[in-house]
């Protein structure tokens, strides 16, 4: 989050009052992040987050906001968007039914229709959502990872009947388009890695094993700082201090990279942040086992997912390496903007590719096994990529 668009107190006050949230008492810019303008807004009725969207347009945003509303109505702790009572929501178009595993669906963009959850501020699309309770846990334990795994599986299942479809806009097509833009900024070894891994991921995506993966709405950006926790004892924890209570996940937020994609990719994104050592990018087996086992108690992985998890872990690392390279080398002007270090996900990608003994898969919800999942190096041939997918 950052501040690209300076929002005045009076326009923000007019918006929250139109939404029935009471008069605005305080408006504070939020530091961190790189995509949108965000403010904490305190009104007579409570605490909210005001977002002005800098890259996403009016035609894309109903997907994210309606997904948040959909999940909140099904008991998933996500920030519910505030609706404008003067707008009548339009009918949804481009709907395709999801099968039991979410297979073989045709992705179609939703029709452009009025959305009571989407507003205009400073000439740009905007939204106001509830501010969640709790604190982000930046040094998660196995207990936090288990909480996250269970909630992620619940969220995937809750999205099966969501009636809007929109591809992951930061998916493979975006990687293919953006890689040539960032390649001139890389050293030779980095460029070789990027080209090799991108070729590998294109071949995996063309395989029958990949086509068999269950899919539906995914968060696609569920890092440690996009979830909130509290303890059973005193309500809040943060930065590794659980104050003697068991952690409880109280919220998931920042859905503005969400899209229809494989559930396995969403799981891989989480594993690449929650279950690694941030300094080195190395896999943390205990946290990964806790997250995977907890996820499986709600939704066991299919055979295709177990076979392709190593490839999707690499895909998730590649996605964020490319996006961070783009943001770092081609930055936008913004107040409070702090671009992320792109070399972090380069390290994660290299670790995922180099260490075949890093990941252990639980075969049941009860406990992980000692069976190792093979991980192939980026230098291996396109035939190897197809061989991985064929095992699904």
Give the pLDDT score at 370.
Answer: 30
Taking the chain, what is the end-to-end CA distance rounded to the nearest angstrom? 38
- Give the pLDDT confidence of 282-327 residue by residue, as tens digits: 999 999 999 999 999 999 999 999 999 999 999 999 999 999 999 9
Over 80: is that where the pLDDT of 126 sits?
yes
Give the pLDDT score at 115.
Answer: 87
Homologous superfamily assigned to 9-130: Phosphorylase Kinase; domain 1 (3.30.200.20)
Give the CA count within 13 Å in the CB-facing half-sphere of 268.
Answer: 24
Query: Other CB atoms closer than 10 Å to residue 152's CB: what's the count?
Result: 28
Question: Three-class SS of residue 100?
Answer: coil
Average of per-residue pLDDT values in the chain: 84
Cα–Cα distance, 158 to 71 (Å, whole number): 6
Domain with CATH 3.30.200.20 in the chain: 9-130
- From 112-116, 133-137, 164-168, 329-333, the region with the lowest mean pLDDT: 112-116
Task: pLDDT band for 55, please (50, 70, 90 cuts).
Answer: confident
Over 70: is that where the pLDDT of 135 sits?
yes
Domain with CATH 3.90.1200.10 in the chain: 142-390
> Which position has the higher pLDDT, 92 or 67?
67
Is domain 142-390 classified as CATH 3.90.1200.10? yes
Helices (H), 261-338: 263-274, 285-298, 303-329
High-pLDDT (> 90) share of the chain, %: 72
Give the pLDDT score at 5.
Answer: 86
Give the pLDDT score at 261.
Answer: 98
User: Do 131 and 40 meet the contact criterion of CB atoms below 8 Å apart?
Assistant: yes
**Alpha-carbon torsion angle 373, 379, 382, 385, nearest 10:** 10
Cα–Cα distance, 153 to 148 (Å, whole number): 9
User: Do 281 and 350 meet the contact criterion of CB atoms below 8 Å apart?
Assistant: yes
Cα–Cα distance, 49 to 81 (Å, whole number): 9
Over 70: is that where the pLDDT of 375 sits?
no
């Amino acid at each position: 989050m950052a501040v690209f668009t300076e929002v005045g107190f009076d326009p923000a006050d007019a918006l929250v009052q139109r939404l029935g949230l009471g008069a605005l008492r305080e408006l504070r810019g939020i530091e961190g992040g790189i995509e949108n303008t965000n403010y904490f807004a305190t009104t007579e009725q409570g605490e909210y987050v005001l977002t002005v969207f800098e890259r996403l347009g009016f035609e894309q945003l109903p997907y994210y906001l309606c997904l948040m509303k959909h999940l909140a109505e099904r008991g998933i702790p996500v920030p519910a968007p505030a609706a404008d009572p003067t707008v009548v929501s339009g009918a949804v178009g481009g709907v395709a039914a999801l099968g039991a595993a979410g297979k073989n669906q045709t992705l179609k963009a939703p029709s452009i229709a009025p959305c009571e959850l989407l507003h205009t501020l400073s000439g740009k699309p905007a939204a106001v959502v509830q501010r969640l309770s709790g604190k982000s846990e930046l040094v998660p334990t196995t207990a936090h990872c288990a909480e996250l795994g269970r909630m992620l599986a619940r969220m995937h299942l809750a999205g099966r009947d969501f009636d809007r479809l929109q591809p992951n806009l930061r998916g493979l097509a975006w990687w293919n388009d953006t890689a040539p833009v960032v390649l001139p900024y890389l050293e030779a070894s980095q460029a070789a890695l990027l080209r090799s891994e991108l070729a590998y991921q294109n071949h995996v995506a063309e395989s029958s094993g990949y086509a068999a993966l269950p899919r539906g709405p995914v968060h696609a950006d569920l890092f440690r700082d996009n979830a909130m926790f509290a303890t059973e004892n005193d309500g809040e924890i943060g930065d590794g201090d659980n104050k003697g209570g068991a952690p409880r996940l109280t919220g998931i937020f920042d859905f503005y990279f969400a899209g229809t994609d494989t559930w396995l990719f969403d799981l891989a994104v989480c594993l690449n942040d929650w279950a690694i050592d941030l300094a080195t990018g190395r896999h943390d087996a205990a946290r990964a086992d806790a997250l995977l086992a907890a996820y499986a108690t709600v939704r066991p992985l299919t055979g295709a997912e177990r076979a392709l998890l190593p490839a999707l872990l690499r895909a998730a690392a590649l996605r964020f390496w490319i996006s961070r390279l783009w943001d770092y080398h081609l930055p936008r002007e913004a107040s409070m903007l702090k671009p992320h270090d792109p070399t972090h996900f380069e390290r994660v990608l290299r670790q995922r590719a180099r260490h075949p003994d890093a990941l252990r898969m639980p075969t049941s919800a009860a406990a992980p096994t000692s069976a190792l999942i093979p991980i192939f190096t980026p230098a291996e041939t396109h035939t190897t990529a197809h061989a991985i997918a064929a095992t699904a």
